[in-house]
Amino acid sequence: MPTRIRPTSSPSPTASFTLLPALIVHISSSPATPATTAPPETATPRQLAIFGAGGLGREVLVLLRQLNAVAPTWELTGFYDDQAPATDLIHGLRYLGTTTDLNATPTPLAVAVAVGSSAGRAAVVGRLTSPRLHFPSLIHPNVSAESYQHLEVGAGCIITQGCILTTDIRLGRHVLLNLGCTIGHDALLDDFCSLMPHANVGGAAHLEAGVYLGTNATVLQQVRIGASTVLGAGAVAIGNLPANCTAVGVPARVVER
């Protein structure tokens, strides 16, 4: 039986991806921490904090507990957020402070950035500057990520339950794949792309940095979506879209620049 690969992160600041396994490929001009395999089941759980105390943060907490149920990898320390939540206790974990507090951590700490907005997530990562912080990639235990699929996953990616990735796919840093997304062969998703539940990306499509796909949005094969563009819920992109716009409908048409 092939070994399942669960990417996390390592301290090197020079590479953007982990290939599962084999060659490393750079597809982003910005430096990134590469993902590496998770520790074996006998390893001591490592400390991990969640940044983002909202709904996505609670969903990421569920993902982490699902991962720990398969192999006890993470010791969950608590939540951080620059906006304090209504309660200091969230599903058994404490609210511990802001990005300033997180940067002041005295020991190495893994961080899952649970912010759904592409721009918001990039801004948070930009503020988390301590060299003691690192960003593991988290992949739901039922998502297939085998070596023969030739997947490349950047540091800080979050891939949730029900997602399907086929083969020869590259994900940049801090890509979010929410529930039930599908990614076709040879697709390229640059840093900080965000796909909401059941979004679909066709073969050889390219989502530039910071693209946001709403729930049930679809990008057809070989279509390129420009950086920071929003494709609204249920929209279907049948042709290329420019950067920094919002497109909706079937077929998708630009409604805002």
Check the annotation: does 116 bind a ligand.
yes
Question: Can you read off the two tokens belonging to residue 172?
Answer: 């940049």
Q: Measuring CA to CA, which residue among 191, 211, 233, 146 is closest to residue 28?
A: 191
Rg of the chain (C-alpha set):
17
Q: Is 185 a catalytic residue?
A: yes
Q: Determine the distance from the C-alpha atom of residue 230 to the mean position of all C-alpha atoms in its chain, rounded to a whole number.
A: 17
Q: Which of 26, 140, 150, 185 is catalytic?
A: 185
Region label for 86, one of left (φ > 0), alpha (ψ between -120 and 50) or beta (otherwise): alpha
As to burial, measured by CB atoms within 10 angstroms (0-12 exposed, 13-18 middle, 19+ buried), residue 18 is: buried
Q: How far apart are CA 150 and CA 240, in angstroms?
A: 26
Burial annotation 182-197 (CB, 10 A radius, 16+ → b, else e)? bbbbbbbbbbbbbbbb
Query: Would you tell me how many other CB atoms lie within 10 Å of the CB of residue 149?
Result: 16
- Segment (H or E) for 80: strand 74-80
> Other C-beta atoms within 10 Å of 14: how many?
10
Tokens of 127: 């503020």
What are the binding residues for substrate? Answer: 116
Active site residues per annotation = 185
